[in-house]
A and B are shown apart, each in its own frame.
Chain A
Amino acid sequence: YVYFPGKPRWARPIPMTLTYAFSPENLVGYLSLEDIRGAFKLAFARWASVIPVSFSETDTYSFADIKIGFYRGDHGDGEPFDGVLGVLAHAFSPESGKFHLDAAETWAVDLESEKSTVAIDLESVATHEIGHLLGLAHSPVKESVMYPSLKPRAKKADLKLDDIEAVQALYGSNPNFKFASSMESDISSNQ
């Protein structure tokens, strides 16, 4: 696993709660807010299960620690989106909290019902970007959530040992966390 230079993290007393909110003006019309909220809730819960950090949704967008929105093209942060596929999303290192998704993608909350060949699993991307918001950079371990790429119609939202060790080194372990063999990753498959 890899950290950002300077190893930034949210500098608050542990255990901490981070709030998140969705930009009301920057959503995608074909997904309901309930579906989007559900996918993010699952993604946040994955990280919260391994570290003593909890995530709470708030309606007060301007005061939220983590601000989530779907944007097209140049949206003012110097990192323009590029249309279908290519770059899917980006998030900023701590403690910025900015989380942007490319509105041009076909975001899916259920790959079985979404038949598009270019559908991108929202929960998988959300889980990856939350890793950035917490302070993790891209990992070279292919099975890890923090690996930088994700194929269309693929689901990769389960945290692997590489992700868990990385984030626990920053925030400590959730006292209720239990390691499961499914979290192991086979780094030999990288070659």
Chain B
Amino acid sequence: RPPPELAPSPATVVTVKNGSYTWHGFQRFLGARRGSRISGMAELKKYFNRFGYLGFQDGNVTDVFDTRLESAVAAYQAKLGLPVTGRLDSETLSQMMSPRCGMRDAMQPMHAAMH
């Protein structure tokens, strides 16, 4: 009978395709600025809404890079210590695609509802 293996068992290797990262698709917005229209930009607006930078006034979220989105991008850059350009430059997009805490950056605190 072979002796018991003394070496540690190999560590589990998990690989995830880049495309399955939650916000990986934002890469296609590189260079976008006010006036740009790119399919899927509504998702970007939802990101800014989720983290407290952009309110949805009428629920109609379009794929147009409008002035409100520009303000949201600038606020995000200022809040995260990035150069404030109002544009979706590579540094900003890289930061946006990074995994992060779910707490809003510009926000009301998350309160637990008392039932």
Contact = CB atoms under 8 A, between A and B. Distances in A.
B15 interface: yes
Interface in A138-166: 138, 140-142, 147-152
B110 to A, nearest CB: 5
A115 B109 contact: no
Query: On chain B, which size bracket covers the interface?
Result: 20 to 34
B100 A93 contact: no
A64 B94 CA distance: 38
Given A84-B16, A84-B20, A5 B103 contact: no
Contacts of B79: 138, 140
Interface residues of A, number: 49
A86 B109 contact: no
Q: Is the interface of B mostly helix, strand, loop or mixed?
A: loop
A8 interface: yes
Contact of B22 (A4, A85, A137): A85
22 contacts: A83-B20, A84-B16, A85-B22, A86-B21, A86-B100, A87-B99, A88-B101, A96-B111, A113-B8, A113-B11, A117-B15, A119-B14, A120-B99, A129-B101, A138-B103, A140-B78, A142-B81, A149-B80, A149-B95, A150-B100, A191-B81, A191-B83
Given A88-B99, A113-B8, 15 more contacts: A30-B12, A87-B22, A88-B102, A91-B103, A92-B109, A96-B112, A114-B12, A117-B16, A118-B14, A137-B105, A138-B101, A138-B105, A140-B81, A151-B99, A190-B82
Interface of A: 4-6, 8, 30, 77, 79, 81-93, 96, 98, 106, 113-120, 125, 128-129, 132, 137-138, 140-142, 147-152, 187, 190-191
